[in-house]
Structure 1
Amino acid sequence: MKLVNIVLKNYRGIKDETKIRVNNFCCIVGKNDVGKSTILKAVDAFLNDHAPSYEDKNIYNTSSIIEIELQFDCSGRESIIDESIPITFAEEELVNEHGLLCIKKKWDISQKTIKPKIYILRKKYQNDDFALMTEKELISLCKKLGIDTQKGNGEQFNNKEKRSKLRSFYNNNYYSYKFDYEELPTTGQTRMKKILEGIKDILPTFEYFKADSSLSDSDTSVQKYFKDKAYRLLKERINTNDIEDNIRKEIKKSLDLITGKINSVLSAEEQISAKIDFDWSKLISTSFKCNKEEGYIPLNSRGDGFRRITMMSYFEMLAEEKNNDKSVIFGFEEPETFLHPETQTLLYNKLIAMTENGYQVMITTHAPNIVAETNIGDIIFVQKNGTDYILRQGEDISIQEIVEELGIKGDNTIFKVFDNVKLLFLVEGSDDVKAISHISQVYKTAGKIDKTLEQIGVLLVCIGGCDSLKHWTSLNIIRKLNKPFFILLDSDKKAPDDISPNLNKMIDLGYTSDNCQVTRKREIENYIPSSYFSSLQDPITINYSDWDDVKDICKRHAETIRLGGKKVCDKHFTNLSYSQLRSTLCPTDDDNDDEFLEIYGKLKQMII
């Protein structure tokens, strides 16, 4: 269960609807007081049920409704909703067109009691929408459409089976539909209420370390970790039920005497009874103390920097320990505070290690060292322009702007990431980076190349399309890095005899065939063989040529969710085998005609 997008409206500095992409690691960058923590506070309000107040409303928006939406990738995550049969939200079409679980909360801060209304974005059929139907209604609809089914008997016939058959019938007959929000009731026994309970069961937890918090061993999240661990060990190694029963029996004797005396003077309507509760988690509390000859010095008596180093060790432990719990997101406001620059880099490495162990980490920072270490695709750049909240990500980010915004000098560590790089391989988007990295690894495994691109010192950099390339060129970023570079852009050709518009633009910018090239096919998505989809365990029939807009085809396809819609490359490219890649990169099976080997050879020549 991964958080993929955050959508905010009328919240703090954000007036209009703003969408924020979330990776496993997110570095929110900007000057002081531009609203970097707004994103973390929004996640906290949503996941930890901290209702916004009137002060959280954007002062330039006249509406009293604050909206926060979180979108999750819950692929393969099963839930039990209204039967004992496990389902996924995707197969029940309780996701958006990209297969994401989208939950929105709205708070009306004009009300005396501020409680959220909760909504889910789902696929709704224009006629006979069956998502919320009872078994009786499902059987009736199946009978009307000539679909074979019967009253539920377990695995063979059940409501999930009926909805699946109806779904196939609707898709095969091109029933019209739309994606729309539907409110999830917080009371009652309807299917939508049960869906809400199922969602709550799989939502990630959010551990929030604020800039003005102690960030010490007494933090609630730290204590909770050890209390939960101690409780699990107690349950595993001690029969706590027997202990509770014995204690309850002994205590009950005294309590019964007391309640008997109380009830003797009360009327029948006022009679009381005693209740005994156990909370084993409260049996343990942890802390760290410094050993000194004159005695123990509590950690909270040491400096902020020392205490943060202790917390870094806690994060490192989380990074090394296998994460078997449900998804956890960590949010840190300026974790580098009070740390020496070298220690800031160590902190960054520990946070990244946490993401490699299954956690998501979001931080706010204006520390050059941390920004310099962060992949450009993981940066969220926040600025203020008067009353406008400006947020940039991915290809909209300019390294030069970050340098200027944070007051970083040209020789600062912002360029440290390029120190050991021999050549910059500039491509359009993050999908291209992932795809080419995958090809490189697969070709090495197959023995077609001796070393991957990374191993020969090539760094793949996402620069966006030609317009972004103009920005890089005008700012002399490439020259400042003082590294050889090679540019590969999509051809964007719609037919084999077309002239690539991107190639023309690069030539106009002064680049030559020595340092730039376009793909032989239209886009990176065209390198996914259509036969790959037909070979899936649950085959998908889809056809396209080397010049079709594959993203658009996948978006409009009946199986758009499984295809990934416009994110088809991100969802499927890294699953391609060597034989599948070879068939699309080299249809003649002649190494001299292999598109990747051609590019790889050019890069090696440029490095030598």
Structure 2
Amino acid sequence: MKIAKIQLKNFRLLKDLELDLEEMLSIIIGKNNCGKTSLLSVLNKFIGDKSSSNSFAYDDFNIEFKSKLYCSIKDNKIVWEKQDGISLIIFIEYNEKDKLSNISDLMLDLNPDNRIVVLKFEYSLDIDNFNKMKEKFEEYKNKHSALSTNELECFENFAKSQHKKFFKIRRKAVQYDTDIQDVNLDEFIDLDKKKVDISKIINFKYVGARRSITNIENDGTLSDLSSKYYEKTEINDSQSKAIDNFENALIETDSKLSAVYDDLFEDVVEKVKKFGGMKKDETVIKVISSLQRRELLKGNTTVVYDDNSHYLPESYNGLGYLNLISMIFEIETLLSEFRKDNNKEAKPADVNLLFIEEPEAHTHPQMQYIFIKNIRDILEEGSNGSNNNKSFELQTIITTHSSHIVSECEFDNIKYFRKDSSNYVEAKNLKQLEIEYSKEKDGGKAHFKFLKQYLTLNRSEIFFADKAILIEGDTERLLVPAMMKKIDDEDKETDVLPLLSQNISVIEVGNYSQIFDKFIEFIGIKALIITDIDSGKMVQDKDIKGIVKKKSDGTDKMKEEASPVDESTCTSNGALKHYYKKEIEKYLTIHGTNEMDFFINLDINDKVLIKENDEWQSSSKGYFMLVYQVTEVNEDGDNYNARSFEDAFFHINRKLIIENKDKFKSLKNINYFDKKESSSGKYKYDSYELAEQCIQSKPSFAMDVLLNSVCDDKPNYSNWKIPKYIKDGLIWLKKN
């Protein structure tokens, strides 16, 4: 038995959320303030440890719902019966192997093919209580309106203090209609009237992000957790011997008790070793006795670090280790609670859901890798019946901001939370991406496979970005951050956040940015693509003897050859051809066969793109901008359209290199830069030729640019210019 899906309405930013859960582990990711903590909160209020009482606050309702409520109370414009409150719908799937005794009375459909039971929890206002609320507000308004600036504020104050008198928590089993593949809300069983024990069906527990972790001296966070772990496992058969020894040794010395604790906490200490990534015998935790009075464990156990022959207090270790170790203690304790270890006769619930919030707190990347690599084993071992424990069905949700954790996850387990245009949250399964890529006619499956490997291995931080810059190679990777700072320094607009203060991810994609278009669209962020125009022309294809190759029809075989932009007729850049496919076809229909003319004449505003009807087209409302080399005038008054970043940079920064010839170690033929024709006095080699003949290593060239930048206390890069196409793109990204 498992939870297949959760639907949530009207809770904070989660106005209408649908979340699919994986059979074992679901990883929820997303930027800050996109509803991950809200999901934990609403689950806890409906089915967790806060469900025994009404813990909802008025501000838990989303803004739109509160507005409708106020309008309805004020002037009856909205029919209240049709309005929903906060609701949580849980879809539970079962199979022929599951025991159905706890849910049999909740089955509203005798169809044997229907193997879904639906539980609905709502915090809602029925029509009778709505009318009472309306009356009470009139009374409240007459008494307290003078304290508020307007009627809306008066209503907000009233609702915050008195909503619990009118809104009620209701629990239902709702019919699932297999014909429409959705719930039929009109057919339900009232679980409260039927006195159904929901805890037998579903058990929810969580490890919150706000863990009580500190390394202040005399604080005993881990020591307190060791006491809790004992309390939950003391009747566990596998530890009964250790418990007996403990009780017998209570009257003896601390040293004897500490020896018993070695057995008592062996399982969890071994797990800590596995997670901590510590060197053998260097830093190992122990639980030792520190008896002050004759009580069982509470206040009398201390977690220390076993450092060779010395026991060091837990506060001597960093917050990262404390956080990781405390999580393991807490998870082990919760697994014991799921199993109901303290009651041999009690059975675990049919469905058990564990929520771990932001496990990365205070931990460095290596610890985060270790956590996500090992957590599956810990959860499986705790639920599969090993060590003579009870087995039970366990599903786990982990929320995270950590790109390091994401990089170690199964791609299919990831759920992406993002805000839509209305500022409400939607949940997207990364599995859906595979479906989108499979629709591609050419290489869709291969593209998805590449994307999946690339993102998990290299650039998973893009999931947490607000904007992205997709670049071609090492040169741009090294220089783009400097260019962003340079633009921030030069652009004095105070109402626009500096580029380096924005949440921008820079990703190196070669000239394959077209593979990422569905992904960028999927996660819904703005993106700037910086690419090369890669100009070329068609020439005869010759063999090694210089003889022109022939086609089967006897005509000359042609091939594309790189050439300066002003001599070119086409581009070899796949990204340009992909994003401008429709526009190119339209242009060539009217203007002939010169593809390069289209790119040369394209206005900067037409480089902003949006996808409509599955085709990219220019639009001022677009969220993509694709920039490439354009015609630019240098300080000598010469116009030039570069083919690559290197010749674009040489064209406007030639004097920088001439003045620092001895410092640009990455360049060969360095004298080509200032060599001039004796007759005309013009440079003998143009920027295209310099890029072709002088670059030894592109990354080294980028480093030389940075090393030769003007510095005061910090580099200000004022002695070189940014190529126009990159500057245009970065300014667009900054201001949009």
Between Structure 1 and Structure 2, whose CA radius of gyration is higher? 2
**Which band: TM-score by shorter chain?**
0.3 to 0.5
Q: Give the number of the structure with larger relative contact order, counting CA–CA contacts within 8 Å between residues 6 or more apart.
A: 1
TM normalised by structure 2 equals 0.36
Tell me the TM-score normalized by structure 1.
0.43
